Each structure stands twice: as structure tokens, then as C-alpha cells.
Copies of this chain bind each other. A is one copy, B any other.
Amino acid sequence: MASPEIDALTQALARLPGLGPRSARRAVLHLLKRRETALAPLVLALQAVEARLSTCEICGNVDTSNPCAVCTDPRRDTSALCVVEEVADLWALDRSRLFPGRYHVLGGRLSALDGVRPENLSIDALIGRVAAGGIDEVVLAMNATLEGQTTMHYVADRLGDFPVRVMQLAHGMPVGGELDYLDEGTLAQALRARRPV
């Protein structure tokens, strides 16, 4: 029999991915018992983000500045562009610090099932960035799913008229993967793309 305020907080937290009703209750109790060290800092952190949140007008990243920190970073290689489906993919790739260039977030993937057509994704904006010049290489880093690969081929077609190298990610065994546990699709890719030792 918690108060309406505590119930509302529990429900708001339970809607986050990775949290259900039970873990949301545990999180709320954690916050209630640590008002100064957990609850207050979380409120401040959320407010700070809420006040300054925006979508980058260049690449589609969400950040507290617009253009985002990636697009305004002077150390970035402006001649390389990595195209991803979602902001989460941008973050995942950028955490690895392996790609020196900038990004372009499509905002989803082509899907006949979900009714997502090319005009629903920021493909025209991507073409615009490439048409503006200065870009040598475009890496299409879509998910290795059917819809991701469909999107990749569509975007590759659209980029065919421009003097840029259009690249895709390598497919094969994940590092640490065991043959016995791999699905057939991955195995087939790994075998097809085999190379000398």
C-alpha cells in the first residue's frame, strides 16, 4: 500500500527497457532509502538532460547540444561517414572508438511489414550530405538482419551515382564464438568469406 506518488514513480521506472514491475520496485526502494546519494542526483541528472535534449540536425544523434558532440568534434575525419539504423547503433560503434569519421542515423530500417518506406528514413538527408562533397567513404553499418541488409542495399543503390567508396561491415564468426553454437547463416557467411591464414 504505497502512496500514489510512489506508485507513479514505480510505473514510470517499470516502463524502462530492462526493468519490470519487480525490479522497478527494488529500484524505487533503493532510491527512497538513499535520498541524498541516489534520488537527488538522479533527479538532477534527468533534469539536466531534459532541459538540453535535442536531435542533431546534421546526423540525427540525440545529444544535449545541436549539432551534436560527434559532429562538432574537430578531431573527426570528415571524409568518412558511417550510416547506422538507430542512435543506439551510433553509440555502440562510437564506444569502440574504431571509426574515426562521423555518422548518419537513418532512424530505422526499411520494412514492408511495419510500413517503413524510404521516405520515412533520413535517406534524402544522407544523399544531401554526400552530394555536398568532401566525403570519400560511406560505411553502411546496418544490422545483419533481413531488414537491415535490405536497407543497406537500397542505400547503396542510391549512393551509386556519387564518387564515394560504399562499404559494408564484414560478416563471419563473432570473436570468442564457438562453431557448435553458431547459427547456419553465420557459419555460411564465415565459410564463404574465408581467407588465407
Contacts and interface: CB of A to CB of B under 8 A. Distances in A.
Interface of A: 1-3, 5-6, 8-9, 11-13, 15-19, 23, 25-33, 35, 38-43, 45-50, 52-53, 62-65, 68-70, 73, 87-88, 91, 94
A143 B30 CA distance: 19
A18 B29 contact: no
Nearest to A29: B88
B12 A63 contact: no
Contacts of A38: 12, 15-16
A25 B90 CA distance: 12
A146 to B, nearest CB: 23
B64 A5 contact: yes
Given A42-B12, A49-B9, A49-B39, A64 B19 contact: no
Contacts of A2: 63, 69, 91
Contact of A50 (B1, B15, B26, B40): B40
A3 B39 contact: no
B26 A69 contact: no
Contacts of A46: 9, 12, 31, 39, 42-43, 46
Given A16-B30, A19-B27, A5 B45 contact: yes
